[in-house]
């Protein structure tokens, strides 16, 4: 029997990621959820719970999370109609902080580079080589 190189939960996670994105674009009427990007979906190994990670620019994260909680059963029902699954997992929504953390790291690195550049400029001026 051939062994798969990835778990069923990973494959189902990719499917749910794609379908939830489509549902948000085409079927959900809440304006707070129209500009949400689903970044990834992680499923438990027993496929009964899915954590849906999302990002959004410029909106209040708490209001968006509350909108997801209200729309969660609708989204889950849409998944049940779109995907042929024995069991549709319960959906938990979480804000994905990856982009914010990456932006903060980028900001720190840029400030370090700026400090190093100004330090180098000062040392060249002090040695008389900067003229």
- 53-94, pLDDT tens digit by residue? 998 877 788 899 999 999 999 999 999 998 888 899 999 999
Burial of 51 (0-12, 13-18, 19+ CB in 10 A): middle
Rg, the chain, Cα only: 23
43: Cβ contacts below 8 Å, ≥ 6 apart: 9, 10, 12, 13, 16, 49, 50, 51, 89
45 or 120, which is more confident? 45
Tell me which fold the domain 8-96 belongs to: GMP Synthetase; Chain A, domain 3 (3.30.300)
- Label residue 110 by pLDDT band (50, 70, 90): confident
For the chain, which residues make up each domain, given as ranges? Answer: 8-96, 97-131
C-alpha–C-alpha distance, residues 24 and 18, integer Å: 10
């Amino acid at each position: 029997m051939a062994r798969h190189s990835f778990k069923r939960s990973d494959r189902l996670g990719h499917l749910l990621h794609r379908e939830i994105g489509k549902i948000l674009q085409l079927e959900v009427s809440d304006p707070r959820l129209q500009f949400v990007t689903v970044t990834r979906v992680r499923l438990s190994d027993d496929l009964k719970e899915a954590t849906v990670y999302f990002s959004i620019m410029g909106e209040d994260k708490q209001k968006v999370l509350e909108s997801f909680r209200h729309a969660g059963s609708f989204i889950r029902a849409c998944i049940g109609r779109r995907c042929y699954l024995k069991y549709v997992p319960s959906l938990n929504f979480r804000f994905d902080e990856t982009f914010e953390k990456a932006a903060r790291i980028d900001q720190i690195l840029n400030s370090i580079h700026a400090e190093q550049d100004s330090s180098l400029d000062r040392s060249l001026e002090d040695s008389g080589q900067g003229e």
